């Protein structure tokens, strides 16, 4: 877990008995993450951490991003969204097939200003899916530095280098500083 070794206890929304759904209707990742974190923090009376994430594709700058999970319409599943993305990119040259995953975390505490943490993972969009792991657009996101798609990474590797993993690492470092403890992790 991302906070292992720190003197804190983390609860999921379910574990905290919070049964709310927050509409992700913000214009940015930060706005969506803040909507969720503020709602849960208010409901629980405790600090809350929430994220929003998505994929951005160079050739389709206005179409994914905060709308990644709804790309192609609400009823379209992961496979359908991947097929739609491939169809939209079928005539796009390699130089414009770049993409990145982005994650923004918002941390809210009662009576304090929210704090944000961002992570990204860059790659390029393949012409056909590869790999069985991961979810969402992972079979299409190729990482040249790793020589594989995100769907071909082990869970441990993905958690270490992903956009969400990087944002969580930044949060962990900040929280360790706030708590006045070293950020020592088991290796």
Model pLDDT for residues 79-100, shown as the tens digit of each residue: 999 999 999 999 999 999 999 9
Q: Residue 83: inside a domain, yes or no? A: yes
pLDDT of 187 over the 60 cut: no
Mean pLDDT of 20-29: 94
Q: Residue 73: inside a domain, yes or no? A: yes
Q: Residue 5: inside a domain, yes or no? A: no
Q: Identify the pLDDT of residue 41.
A: 95
- Residue 91 appears among annotated catalytic residues: no
Q: Residue 69: inside a domain, yes or no? A: yes
pTM: 0.92
Count the domains in the chain.
1
Q: Identify the pLDDT of residue 183.
A: 64
Q: Domain of 137: which CATH number? A: 3.90.950.10
Measured distance CA(94)–CA(114) in Å, rounded:
39
Q: Which of 52, 91, 138, 183 is catalytic?
A: 52
Q: Identify the pLDDT of residue 185.
A: 56
Q: Identify the pLDDT of residue 4.
A: 86
Q: Residue 15: inside a domain, yes or no? A: no
Q: Identify the pLDDT of residue 3.
A: 85
Bridging pattern class, strands 148-149 and 98-108: unpaired
Query: Which residue range is the domain that position 54 belongs to?
Result: 29-179
Average pLDDT over the chain reads 93
Tell me the per-residue pLDDT of 97-136, one tens digit each, with 9 for 90 and over.
999 999 999 999 999 999 999 999 999 999 999 999 889 9
Q: Identify the pLDDT of residue 186.
A: 45
């Amino acid at each position: 877990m991302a906070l292992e070794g720190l003197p804190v206890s983390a609860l999921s929304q379910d574990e905290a008995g919070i049964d709310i759904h927050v509409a992700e209707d913000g214009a940015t990742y930060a706005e969506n993450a803040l909507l969720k974190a503020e709602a849960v923090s208010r409901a629980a009376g405790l600090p809350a951490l929430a994220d929003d994430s998505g994929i951005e594709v160079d050739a389709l700058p206005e179409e994914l991003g905060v709308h990644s999970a709804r790309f192609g319409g609400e009823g379209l599943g992961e496979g359908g969204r991947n097929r739609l993305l491939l169809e939209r990119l079928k005539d796009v040259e390699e130089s414009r097939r770049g993409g990145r995953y982005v994650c923004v975390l918002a941390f809210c505490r009662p009576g304090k200003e929210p704090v944000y943490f961002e992570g990204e993972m860059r790659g390029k969009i393949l012409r056909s899916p590869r790999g069985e792991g991961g979810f969402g657009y992972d079979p299409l996101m190729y990482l040249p530095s790793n020589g594989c798609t995100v769907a071909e990474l082990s869970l441990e590797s993905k958690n270490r280098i992903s956009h969400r993993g990087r944002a969580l690492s930044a949060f962990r470092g900040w929280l360790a500083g706030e708590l006045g403890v070293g950020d020592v992790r088991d290796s």
